[in-house]
Structure 1
Amino acid sequence: MRYFIELAYNGKAYHGWQNQPNAISVQETLEKVLFIALQVQTPLVGAGRTDAGVHASEYFAHFDSEKIAVIDKFIYKLNSLLPDDIAVYDLVEVNDEAHARFNATGRSYEYYVVQQKDPFKFETAHYVKNELDVDKMNLAASTLLNYTDFKCFSKSKTDVHTYNCKISAAQWVKEKDVLVFKITADRFLRNMVRAIVGTLLEIGLGKIPVSRLHEILVSRDRQEAGTSVPAKALFLAKIEYPTSILNK
């Protein structure tokens, strides 16, 4: 049977989701725990990569297994074996063709910025001291919806076949004392969100005009865009799937 596992993780201690030859990953950690719980090697297929240090407040992966009799008990066992920075929330039976990566129809990221030094947020938010023009940042963010080629925001060495993404929402929102950039697309390139945020912050700081964003996008040149912001403030917040993947 195929199961989707829903989890969340603090990425500080991990080199991203995906297994790495010489670094610890979330995938490796969870697969070790599944081996203990199921007594058989159980490969996980994740919804996609996250960069080293990036967090996920919602993440999905799938695995194949014999039928798990009591789901709640199994989730409790996994959580008791996992470190404190990874938590399993749910386990759902899906059809045998369901795929955590390829069936995802949308992904949403959130990036957290604080404008006042905060000892309780320094590990999960990016501190920007100088005043930001949020209206200009939102104007620039809205123009992203008019483009599909985002090569200028992608890592130069990547194995993708296309740099096209469909962004359906991009906006800065003030939540109490935190400024949050929220972006949703059908897919994302490696480093894309952090490069977009870095560019929008340069606009907000008055270093470049809003009109410059068009030139950056059509250049398709990563060196033209802004500096990538730190990974610690980026969260994969939501992954969407069609209900047709469920095992009814």
Structure 2
Amino acid sequence: MKRYFLELAYKGTRYHGWQIQKNATSIQELLEKAISLVLRTPTATMGSGRTDTGVHASQQFLHFDTVEELDPKDFLKKINSILPKDVAVYALRRVRSNGHTRFDAEWRSYVYKISLRKNPFEQDTSWLYISDLDFKKMNEAAKMLLSYEDFQCFSKIKTDVNHFRCILKEAYWEQNDHQLVFHITSNRFLRGMVRSIVGTLIEVGTGKWSLADFKKILENKDRNQAGFSAPPHGLFLCKVTYPEKIFI
């Protein structure tokens, strides 16, 4: 058997997240059906991570196994002709037999986009928020995240993880004209973590909470004390990094 990594992107608006579900259409389901059709055999896939309903990805990866030696250009052309317009595949690479899109990922990056004025071209891919925000204070709070490794306060309560430890590489806001963009990179993310962080940082930006309050939230490790979860449509999985040694 040969193992391949497939790079893809999708607009998650019409889908119920990444993972296959019984009574709802998911991104993984679409990809598995398309790949199985091209390979003419049922083919299972494994993604680098799970995105929730309505969340997008400008870079996502999956892996699958096949007995065939695939031609990347031909394979990508066939898959893209089958997939709907809001899902696309970009690259196909052969990896070692034990290469794993989820477990071999070294870093994952997300961005969260907030529109500061109404924009008809961003309604599905950015959260409209027109109240005043203290951008500097939000960035000071974001910087504080880098001093911590336990993020239980930002994890969904019902989760099956063994620990809440994440190593953050970056966390900051930038402003581009009428849009705020939150950047965050970590070796792993907890369920609902990024949207919970964004919602809590918004509470800091509105003045509801001080930087001292934000520090207490981090140290108390209680999701109920953190802020609301920002809407899913502003969130993008934007980069997944792998060690070059796994590729053939």
> Does the aligned pair in 2 maintain the 1:68–1:74 contact within 8 Å?
no
Q: Which segment is superposed worse, 12-21 or 72-81?
A: 12-21
Gaps of 5+ in 2: none
Residue 207 of structure 1: aligned partner: 208
Aligned-partner residue type, residue 238 of structure 2:
A
Residue 18 of structure 1: aligned partner: 19
Give 3-state SS (helix, strand or coil) of 1:184's partner: strand
Deviation at 1:37, TM superposition (A): 0.3
2-structure distance, mates of 1:143, 1:149: 13
2-structure distance, mates of 1:175, 1:110: 13
2-structure distance, mates of 1:206, 1:129: 15
1-structure distance, mates of 2:166, 2:30: 30
Deviation at 1:67, TM superposition (A): 2.9
Give 3-state SS (helix, strand or coil) of 1:61's partner: strand
Deviation at 1:68, TM superposition (A): 3.3
1-structure distance, mates of 2:64, 2:202: 39
Alignment of 1:1-248 (within 5 A): 1-247=2-248
Give 3-state SS (helix, strand or coil) of 1:48's partner: coil
Aligned residues: 247
Deviation at 1:62, TM superposition (A): 0.5
Deviation at 1:188, TM superposition (A): 0.2
> Does the aligned pair in 2 maintain the 1:114–1:127 contact within 8 Å?
yes
1-structure distance, mates of 2:38, 2:70: 13
2-structure distance, mates of 1:87, 1:47: 16
Task: For residues 7-34 of structure 1, give each alpha carbon's deviation from its aligned partner in whole angstroms, at most 9, with x where no partner exists.
Answer: 0011111111111122111001110111
Q: Which segment is superposed worse, 3-12 or 210-219?
A: 210-219
Gaps of 5+ in 1: none
> Does the aligned pair in 2 maintain the 1:58–1:237 contact within 8 Å?
yes
Aligned-partner residue type, residue 164 of structure 1:
R
Task: For residues 93-133 of structure 1, give each alpha carbon's deviation from its aligned partner in whole angstroms, at most 9, with x where no partner exists.
Answer: 11101000000000000000111111221111111111111
1-structure distance, mates of 2:23, 2:15: 11
2-structure distance, mates of 1:148, 1:135: 23
Q: Which segment is superposed worse, 33-42 or 59-68?
A: 59-68
1-structure distance, mates of 2:92, 2:51: 21
2-structure distance, mates of 1:33, 1:69: 15
Deviation at 1:70, TM superposition (A): 2.2
Q: Return the TM-score normalized by structure 1.
A: 0.98
Deviation at 1:173, TM superposition (A): 0.7
1-structure distance, mates of 2:222, 2:232: 21
Q: Which segment is superposed worse, 113-122 or 163-172?
A: 113-122
Deviation at 1:49, TM superposition (A): 0.8
Deviation at 1:69, TM superposition (A): 3.9
> Does the aligned pair in 2 maintain the 1:113–1:127 contact within 8 Å?
yes
Q: Identity, % of aligned pairs?
A: 49
Task: For residues 181-200 of structure 1, give each alpha carbon's deviation from its aligned partner in whole angstroms, at most 9, with x where no partner exists.
Answer: 00000000010000000000
CA RMSD, 1 decimal: 0.9
Q: Return the TM-score normalized by structure 2.
A: 0.98
Is the alpha carbon distance of 1:69 and 1:197 closer, same or farther for their aligned partners in structure 2, counting shifts above 3 Å? closer
> Does the aligned pair in 2 maintain the 1:54–1:232 contact within 8 Å?
yes
2-structure distance, mates of 1:199, 1:35: 42
Deviation at 1:176, TM superposition (A): 2.8
Task: For residues 57-107 of structure 1, give each alpha carbon's deviation from its aligned partner in whole angstroms, at most 9, with x where no partner exists.
Answer: 000010001233421011000000001111000000111010000000000
